[in-house]
Amino acid sequence: MALTFPFSAIVGQDEMKQAILMSAVDSTIGGVLVFGDRGTGKSTAVRALAALLPKMQAVVGCRYGCDPASEGSACPDCAALRGASRARLASHLIPVPVVDLPLGATEDRVVGALDLERALSQGVKSFEPGLLARANRGFLYIDEVNLLEDHLVDLLIDVAASGENVVEREGLSVRHPARFVLIGSGNPEEGELRPQLLDRFGLSVEVRTPQELEARVEVVKRRDAFERDPAAFSLAWKKEDDHTRRMILAARKRLDSVIVPDAARQGAAKLCMALGTDGLRGDLTLIRAARANAALQGDAQVGGTHLRRVAACALRHRLRRNPLDDTGSTTRVDRAVAELFPG
């Protein structure tokens, strides 16, 4: 298998890396929307992080990559096998999947469909799993999510939120696990996402072409070194990648015990009120992201520092446009944060 560019070797893009790390720690945050220029390696960080995560135990032959230890979320195939044999299902290690959703993918291709070939040749109604099945327990990456049909984006967000794909059609009724972190990239200049869809993504980040000379030179230098000798380059970054992996695993363990004091909840609510975000999704995401951030830092409870750190990526895509004020959303969030959480 080809080597993936090491996560630690990515120059800058701190907010993007932080957002993906938080999603990897708490998948209920609701995915990441990445806005930015072409050619800034938006998908690199996702692939790098997935490659860095430890391989997972999965049931041998399962098309959904079910976790053998989790009976509750087993697919129909595994549930049937388990019921029939009462034996432990054989398992093997698989890498964390990153599935690309190609532009123009049909709904059938995404959610799965009736296996026509089997239906015609054997007269058997069976299910041909789609991309959502392959993405189970991993990442689903959509390049240019703004060019995807709205109903498909809606559907993807629904499945990502519920962790389950339900297909009812052509006499088929299938339900299978589809837990994944949704990562969508968009070019702000090419069509915009409806605000209702924007709001359903947990976090959003902006990735820019580096404007500092040093950073640009470093990006090119590392990319070149990697392409010339991927093995040597990966080895050179192994220690830092190992460190990041341990940090994620520790944060996942710690997450449930991180305390969210009422003061932090109030802080989050005040910030959302000051910015006039609709509904409560902003408050909820802000708290979840701050908790994941605290878990990654090894902190026992959520405080102003964590809220401050995650506010822009949890809220900037939820702001209503003010026709009298064309200040960018990041600036507006930063301003409100500075007023509410000085220091």
User: CB 83 → Zn ion: shortest distance, Å?
Assistant: 13
User: CB 65 → Zn ion: shortest distance, Å?
Assistant: 7
DSSP letter for 325, please.
Answer: B
Ordered DSSP codes for 276-304: T-SSSHHHHHHHHHHHHHHHHHT-SB--H
User: CB 129 → Zn ion: shortest distance, Å?
Assistant: 10
Q: Are 320 and 276 in contact (CB under 8 A)?
A: yes
| Cα distance between residue 290 and residue 301, in whole Å | 9
| Catalytic, out of 109, 118, 265, 281 | 281
> Hey, which residues does 205 pair with through a beta bridge?
34
| Cα distance between residue 246 and residue 231, in whole Å | 21
Question: Which residues contribute to the site for Zn ion (CB under 5 A)?
Answer: 62, 64, 66, 75, 78
> CA geometry: angle at 27 spanning 61 and 30, to 5°?
120
- Give 78 or 264: the residue with its C-beta nearer to Zn ion: 78
Task: Name 163's Cβ contacts closer than 8 Å, sequence gap at least 6.
Answer: 73, 177, 178, 179
| Cα distance between residue 205 and residue 207, in whole Å | 7
Pairing outcome for strands 164-169 and 138-142: unpaired
Question: How far is C-alpha 263 from the chain's CA centre?
Answer: 28
User: CB 136 → Zn ion: shortest distance, Å?
Assistant: 9
Amino acid identity for residue 194 in this structure: R
User: CB 30 → Zn ion: shortest distance, Å?
Assistant: 25
Annotated active-site residue 309? The verdict is no
Residue 96 has a CB neighbour count (10 Å cut-off) of 19
- Give 177 or 184: the residue with its C-beta nearer to Zn ion: 177
Closest among 45, 42, 6 to 22, alpha carbons compared: 45
| Cα distance between residue 230 and residue 2, in whole Å | 9
| Cα distance between residue 122 and residue 115, in whole Å | 11
User: CB 53 → Zn ion: shortest distance, Å?
Assistant: 20
Task: Name 253's Cβ contacts closer than 8 Å, sequence gap at least 6.
Answer: none
User: CB 89 → Zn ion: shortest distance, Å?
Assistant: 8
Active-site annotation, residues: 281
